Amino acid sequence: MRNASMSLRLLCALPLAAMLAFPLHAASAPQEWESVLEEARGQTVYWHAWAGDTRVNDYIAWVKSRVRAEHDIELVHVKIDDTGSAVSRVLAERSAGNHDDGSVDLIWINGENFAAMKENALLYGPFAEQLPNFALTHPEHNPEVVNDFTLPTEGYESPWGKAQLTFYYDAAELDEAPPRGMAQLLAWAEANPGRFAYPRIPDFLGSTFLKQALVALADDSDALYEPVAQSDFETVTAPLWHYLDALHPHLWRSGRQFPANGPELRSLMADGELALAFTFNPAEPAAAVADFELPESTRSYVLDGGTLGNVHFVAIPYNSPRRAGAMVVANFLLSPEAQARKQDLAVWGDPTVLDVARLDGESRALFEQQSDNPALLAPEALAETLPEPHPSWMTALQDAWQARYVGR
């Protein structure tokens, strides 16, 4: 979920012999689920997961209680600011020769972090198809659950949630319709100085805003779906920097300071400092309204032509000594019980990866939500989901943004 630029550089610096020392496919994957359950009992699983939102932390605490009661697994939420720190830890352990007793058992991961770990043999697997609940995603009908930023997961990740860039605004503060495209956003910011912002790079949400803008502005957006090294980076990204140069003077605090992350962006909306913001969780504005964090006049929408969306996953490092426990936790995260609770606006509001229409009646009923929350988007509003660019673009954009704007 979070930036891993330093991790990627460290991985690229590894000697080729070190990269080839461990096969990508694990040779000792448990074959029978009952044996996995038996092996998992009594294990303590260390899950390195982003901890930047109270709802997320509370949900993981609930998962902890459920896997303890049901499977005798002690789940420890290792709270991190960015996924790169977990990637760096696994890398450091391998560099130190620790191939059997790693400290990371499960990582909330996707995008460039997954690409780096997979390319450099830092993942255990394939394991996803061994999880009984994985079949409930029906990947043959939902290819997004087996692809991560254009890369096939090949069983090295298990999906557990969805995301799509969603804008929200305070209708009581806007006299006109909100901007529906990047050009309109610039014009709106010029007319409403200080009322919009995006998180400071390398925050994941801020980086997603850069990618959304680049997809809309680039003359050759096809180049974004190939490795960045195969393109003329300066030429492809020139429209983005021109756009940001024009936008920044009209942002919150004149673009001299940026919010740290999505929760801070939401807090600025709650305080009335901003009138327009965005999130990567389509249900977040509605959940915040339900929790009285945002006013009832909050409304959500997506840009014309669609917005970037992806699936987030969990993965198991190659040197985890508690793989069975990690697999059981990953399987529980895919259960209808866990997925329905996660999607509940009163809990988190994170969309499910299960194919609800293909669940049995009892399981399907868990997902029925009666909500008249005016900030909640109808499912059909999210139909136009733009694919994420190749993961290499994320790091390249972050580095270029830092070089261009930090210190100004």
CA–CA dist 172, 298 (Å, integer): 8
Question: Letter for the amino acid at 226?
Answer: E
What stretches in the chain show pLDDT beneath 50?
Answer: 1-30
> What's the pLDDT score for residue 379?
77
Contact 51, 305 (CB under 8 A): no
Query: CA angle, corner 289, sides to 181 and 83, nearest 5?
Result: 70
Contact 168, 361 (CB under 8 A): no
> What's the pLDDT score for residue 321?
97
Helix (H, G, I), strand (E, B), or coil: what is residue 10?
helix
Chain segment 166-216, per-residue pLDDT in tens: 999 999 989 889 999 999 999 999 999 999 999 999 999 999 999 999 999
Q: How many CA atoms lie within 13 A of 351 on its CB side?
A: 23
DSSP state of 168: E
Question: Letter for the amino acid at 369?
Answer: Q
Q: Would you give the end-to-end CA distance of the chain in angstroms? A: 27
Q: H helices of 175-226, where?
A: 182-191, 204-217
Contact 314, 330 (CB under 8 A): yes
Question: Letter for the amino acid at 167?
Answer: F
Residue count of the chain, please give it: 408
Neighbours of 165 (CB within 10 A): 23
Q: What are 125's two structure tokens? A: 């697997």
User: What residue ranges define each of the domains in the chain, with the CATH number in brackets?
Assistant: 5-162+312-372 (3.40.190.10), 164-309+387-405 (3.40.190.10)
CA–CA dist 392, 386 (Å, integer): 17
Chain segment 134-147, per-residue pLDDT in tens: 999 999 999 999 99
Sign of torsion over alpha carbons 205, 207, 210, 216: negative
> What's the pLDDT score for residue 372?
79
CA–CA dist 211, 307 (Å, integer): 10
CA–CA dist 375, 110 (Å, integer): 27
CA–CA dist 219, 245 (Å, integer): 18
379 burial (CB, 10 Å; 0-12 / 13-18 / 19+) is: exposed
> What's the pLDDT score for residue 82?
86
Residues 6 or more apart in contact with residue 12 via CB below 8 angstroms: none
CA–CA dist 317, 147 (Å, integer): 19
Q: H helices of 344-383, where?
A: 361-365
Sheet with 166-170: strands ordered across = 276-279, 166-170, 298-301
> What's the pLDDT score for residue 301?
96
Neighbours of 87 (CB within 10 A): 29
> What's the pLDDT score for residue 17?
33
